[in-house]
Chains A and B, each alone.
Chain A
């Protein structure tokens, strides 16, 4: 051991000793006493200023600060790449004494599981994943419910009968959204076609803008996106076509090109879970909340949409909220023509969370 490593380890040991309760708190679910702060950490896949996905998670973080005030302290690390670097960021948060850590992107899944195994007394919450452990809970939103509503608007609003979809990665969460919006666009407009472009990124404004331009060049006049920046909306505005806010309201683009939006409202869930850690009742679970639970919201439908289309979309939203209607209700066939859901049957959550096929009528292929 040379002098430098000796100094570094001494400093690390001193730091550990200074942090309250790094080793003192056992795996028990004891309530956090008054006067002791709960440290809550977040990692985001994009910058908090993306105006979409990560921005919305950060609003959730601000909401728990407002709710619990002095009892908690929050930290976040933004623009964390999915992959090995995520494990470093999570470990850093755990070592800094955070007892509850929210990892807010699908691609953080394995990093969360690995880190959680090393820190059994830290509780992890992973968004949109499916791997759980005693100290790893997952939470997800039924984005496809919102997609059904904006798909309806898209099907009604298109004049060229071509709607475009900018996908991020071909994972179930995104495939559900493409299928749901296509099914509902077709329902109101049997001539509608859907063009799909994969950006292979959650956040790359220049590429998202180029993807929108490529779709517009193909004659698309309504653009849906499952990427995090507002670049496609700016491109839509330039070309005079319409689009929708994604993850956040993106209200700056009202009344057009942004004619409506899907808003992820994470605040109620975050407030509930932090409260459970504070009073010692937190347990691991996997939840999937939708429009009816207030986690998925539909942003204001602007006047650019005719009143009867707006009413139709809102009626669908109400039926989904009351669980009277499920966006994946049979008869539905898979893209290859094979049967999927019989008349009146609805897709199970297991089927949806592993969805790796397009429904009949979509001509694009899912990249293998």
Chain B
């Protein structure tokens, strides 16, 4: 009775924001850039998407605006880390704080307004959920079966080698950061437009950090990202539904489960790296390192 279609729908819906954001971050990290500003990108997407959806009455316009806003904010990060060579960790954290503050200021007029209704899609599932699901195989195909994906991964694994081969490391990374920003913006807008149905300051409440954890849990693989997002979404929704049905569940233990899983995966990854060099699932070789072309 609990594992019915309603639960499944709630699960997939709860997983969608982190799925979008984590897919974007996976692509960014595969290109060798560590962007800790996901939370800031999501909240800016949440506000921009909500504002546009409210102004036009169209949720589609809202999501497009959110993607553009996320990409635009990510460009600040790109300019700082790729052109001015700032530290990626510090810049990413600053981006989160900036996004939260910026939206708190510009979000005031939108408090207490309701979002336009999301149109339903096939099987009663809205089209943003379908888009999220479709992006998983597309991202995998892009990364693993296209030339551009190979170049992107090459830049992430060893930026000096990629540079020596004549690939434009900086351009590839800026493009990846923009794509990641757009996807994080979409994830944030899904929270404000489809889940909470309104704008509230600070509404992403840590979803961006969960997305960052999922990328590691997933071993930087889009299918793993899907599994991670469903694990987080599933645990959240399932424990709420079990509680509502009057089943006594150890909420603390369940809430802890995805984080424990992430730690276990990290241990497995490092063990695999130790015993079998070059095994899959390891972090990209140039992750988080600043690239400065000497020649």
Chain A positions within 8 Å of B, measured between CB atoms, are 46-51, 79, 164, 195-198, 200-201, 203-211, 213-215, 217-218, 220, 229-231, 234-235, 237-238, 250, 252, 363-365, 367
Contact B10 A207 (CB under 8 A): no
Q: Please give, as numbers and ranges, the residues of chain A lying within 8 Å of B115 by CB-CB distance.
A: 234
A211 to B251, CA, bound (A): 13
Can you report 27 A-B residue pairs in the complex whose CB atoms are below 8 A from each other? A47-B202, A48-B201, A49-B107, A49-B200, A79-B202, A164-B244, A198-B243, A198-B251, A203-B202, A203-B205, A205-B200, A206-B14, A206-B205, A210-B236, A214-B244, A218-B244, A229-B196, A229-B200, A230-B198, A231-B198, A231-B200, A234-B196, A238-B117, A250-B112, A364-B246, A367-B248, A367-B250
Q: How far is the CA of A215 from the CA of B17 in the complex (A)?
A: 21
Residue of A51, A79, A214, A234 most packed against chain B (CB within 10 A): A214
- Are B248 and A195 interface neighbours, CB within 8 A? no
Q: Would A49 and B195 count as touching, CB distance under 8 A?
A: no
Q: A197-B244, A365-B248, A367-B251 are in contact. Are A207 and B236 (CB under 8 A)?
A: yes
A217 to B201, CA, bound (A): 27
Least CB separation from B198: chain A residue:
A234
The smallest beta-carbon distance between A105 and chain B, in angstroms, is: 15
| Complex Cα–Cα for A224 and B160 (A) | 59
- Among A220, A234, A237, A363, residue most surrounded by chain B Cβ atoms (within 10 Å): A234
Give every chain A residue within 8 A of B243 (Cβ-Cβ).
Answer: 196-198, 214, 364
Say if the beta carbon of B231 comes within 8 Å of chain A. no
B246: chain A residues within 8 A (beta carbon): 195, 363-364
Closest to A365 in B: B248
Asked if residues A217 and B10 are in contact (CB atoms below 8 Å), the reply is yes
In this assembly, does B207 line the interface, its C-beta being within 8 Å of a C-beta of chain A? yes
Proximity string of chain B (230-246) to chain A, C-beta cutoff 8 Å, 1 when within and 0 when not: 00000011001101111
Q: Is the CB of A50 within 8 A of B201?
A: yes
B191 at the interface (CB under 8 A from A): yes
- A8 CB to nearest B CB, Å: 19
Separation of A51 and B203 alpha carbons in the complex (Å)? 12
User: Please, what's the 1-or-0 string for B203-233, where 1 marks a CB less than 8 Å from any CB in chain A?
Assistant: 1111100000000000000000000000000
Q: Which residues of B contact A364 (CB under 8 A)?
A: 243, 246
Give Cα distance in the complex from A211 to B204, angstroms. 16
Q: Please name all residues of chain B whose beta carbon is closer than 8 Å to the beta carbon of A195 when the two chains form the complex.
A: 244-246
Query: Within the assembled complex, what's the spacing in Å between the Cα atoms of A206 and B204?
Result: 7
Distance in angstroms from A235 CB to nearest chain B CB is 7
B207 touches A206 (CB 8 A): yes
For the A-B complex, the count of residue pairs with Cβ-Cβ distances under 8 Å equals 120
CA distance A206 to B207 in the complex (A): 9
Min CB distance, A145 to chain B, in Å? Answer: 26
CA distance A234 to B241 in the complex (A): 19
| CB of B108 closer than 8 Å to a CB of A | yes
Q: Which residue of A lies closest to B113 (CB)?
A: A252
**Which chain B positions have C-beta within 8 A of A220?**
244
Instruction: Report chain A residues within 8 Å CB of B245.
Output: 195, 218
Measured in the bound complex, the distance between the Cα atoms of B110 and A234 in whole Å is 14
Residue numbers in B under 8 Å from A238 (CB-CB) = 117, 197
Question: Are B17 and A47 neighbours in the complex by a CB distance under 8 Å?
Answer: no
Given contacts A213-B240, A231-B203, 6 further A-B contacts (CB under 8 A): A49-B111, A206-B195, A217-B241, A364-B246, A365-B248, A367-B248
CB contact list, B99-154 vs A, under 8 A: 104, 107-108, 111-115, 117
Indicate if B86 sits at the interface (CB-CB under 8 A). Answer: no
